[in-house]
Amino acid sequence: MKILSLFSGCGGLDQGFLKAGFNIVWANDFDKYAVETYKANFGNNIVLQDINKIDFDELPDFDMLIGGFPCQPFSMMGEEKGFEDTRGTLFFKIAEIIKYKIEKNEKPKVIVLENVRSLKTHDNGKTFKTIKRILEKDLRYKVYSDILNSADYGTPQTRNRTYIVCFDNKNIEFEFPKKQKLNLTLQDLLEKNVDNKYFLSEKIIPTILSNGTGGYNAKSEIDLKIARPLCATMAKMHRACQDNYVTQENRIRRLTPRECARLQGFSDDFVIPVSDTQAYKQFGNAVTVNVSYAVANQIKDSLNKLGEWNND
């Protein structure tokens, strides 16, 4: 099935669907470094452009739309402004694209959206209620949603995200993928012979390991078996109650970009052509490949049962 991918980033959501046999015909992101990484791994079918400036007439034919639309407006890490934030309105841009295709009698069969866990509870549930109403009432899709944790799908990272899966066919039956036993720990994914630049200086260790100051207080732990959620600002090195640190050679260090890639389900042949700062941002923002792949397979199974799957 032909997929249009929006807010593609470095390609975590896309890779899961590609692995399941789907075909990404067009992708988009406005971050030039994310696009550089995407091109290095998936080819040149990604367009570097602000989604608000895209000409809908230039979009290719597609059967399915996927996208991890910007989460900052709904994130606990942000100010939770929701639709008051201009980034929050980008969901409406997705709706505009779908409405445009409907008017051309080219309604996508499936929509898959991903966002932070707090999307469901933001503004006492009003934000999610609005999104669901638009998808169900205005665009007339059958909507399924759930919160999936990356640690339940084979990678040792606690990362709870909201997944929304929508079908044009109201007769379809869909279930989110069942949880899997986790057989890996963070330590299993660590690199050997790590560059000295990733190790902490004696001067910064007391700050990194402190439990917080002022009104913010949280227990700082290192060497966790299951990593804390990777975040886009890892390059800044937060305290250990926010970021992940490990002990190696009796010294404390941060995670390397490759280890972050592994925690997001990317294989070691995934090319990282950008600086560490940009790599941390990309993997902190990425959709976990393991979860994307599990969801993609469930969608494929549901379509197969109704004879709507094709591998064009």
Q: Which residues are catalytic?
A: 71
Spatial contact of 306 and 167, defined as CB atoms under 8 Å apart: no
Spatial contact of 63 and 111, defined as CB atoms under 8 Å apart: no
Using CB atoms within 10 Å of the CB of residue 266, give its burial: 0 to 12 exposed, 13 to 18 middle, 19+ buried. Answer: buried
Spatial contact of 30 and 48, defined as CB atoms under 8 Å apart: yes
Residues 299 and 20: their CA atoms lie apart, in Å, by: 10
Residues 12 and 261: their CA atoms lie apart, in Å, by: 10
Instruction: Write out the DSSP string of the chain.
Output: -EEEEES-TTSHHHHHHHHTT-EEEEEEES-HHHHHHHHHHH-S-EEES-GGG--GGGPPP-SEEEE----GGG-TTTT--GGGSTTTTHHHHHHHHHHHHHHTT---SEEEEEEEGGGGTGGGGHHHHHHHHIIIIIS--EEEEEEEEGGGGTSSB--EEEEEEEES-TT----PPPP------GGGG--SS--GGGBPPTTTHHHHTS---TT-------S-SSBPPP-TTGGG---TTTS-EEEETTEEEEPPHHHHHHHTT--TTS---S-HHHHHHHHHHPPPHHHHHHHHHHHHHHHHHTT-----
